[in-house]
Amino acid sequence: MNAGEAGEDEASRKELRPYKVYAIEEGVVIDHIPPKKACDVINVLGALEGDSIVTLGVNLDSKQMGKKDVVKIERKELSWEELMKIALIAPDASLNIIKGHKVVDKLKIKVPAMFEKVVRCPNPNCITRHEPVDTKFHTVSERPFRLRCHFCERVFEREEVSLI
């Protein structure tokens, strides 16, 4: 087999390979997660702690993104704080709310102007590290993703802050 035949064989397998995913009756589908970030989403949502069925798709083909991850969680409704955590991990994600095996609502994640009680300030001198004060961060920019601490006023890249 030559290199051309190998490429054609791989392309035909991709076209014929169906995605088989468990359908959920009630819950949420989080789509358009950046590649290899689905586990981060599952962890911040605590999705593995309950008895919900969790379906994970990693490195799926996407016309919009090239590659993407998808997470389906049965019997899960997302709180405002959970949405804010998803916005930090996957600011371009979309949500499908499922009821009775049907999509009843589609939402696009929006990066808020302020994140409260969601991330920890990495500045060791910030008051939030020494006093019982809830953290607040203002979104400075989405691309690149930068946040400014309300208290110490330092600006951080997304990768520098950790979720609470």
What pLDDT score does 8 carry?
Answer: 54
Residues 99 and 38: their CA atoms lie apart, in Å, by: 22
The answer regarding whether domain 114-163 maps to CATH 2.30.30.20 reads yes
In the chain, residues under CATH classification 2.30.30.20 are 114-163
Architecture of the domain made up of 3-108? 2-Layer Sandwich (3.30)
Q: What is the pTM of this model?
A: 0.80
The total of other beta-carbon atoms located within 10 Å of residue 95's CB is 19
What pLDDT score does 11 carry?
Answer: 53
In the chain, residues under CATH classification 3.30.70.140 are 3-108
Number of H helices, E strands in the chain: 3, 11
The total of other beta-carbon atoms located within 10 Å of residue 14's CB is 9
Beta-carbon contacts of 154 under 8 Å, excluding residues fewer than 6 positions away, are 121, 123, 126, 148
One digit per residue, the tens of pLDDT, for the chain of length 164 reads: 555 555 555 555 555 556 566 788 999 999 999 999 999 999 999 888 878 889 999 999 989 889 999 999 999 999 988 999 999 999 999 999 999 999 999 999 999 999 999 999 999 999 999 999 999 999 999 989 999 999 999 999 999 999 88
What pLDDT score does 26 carry?
Answer: 94
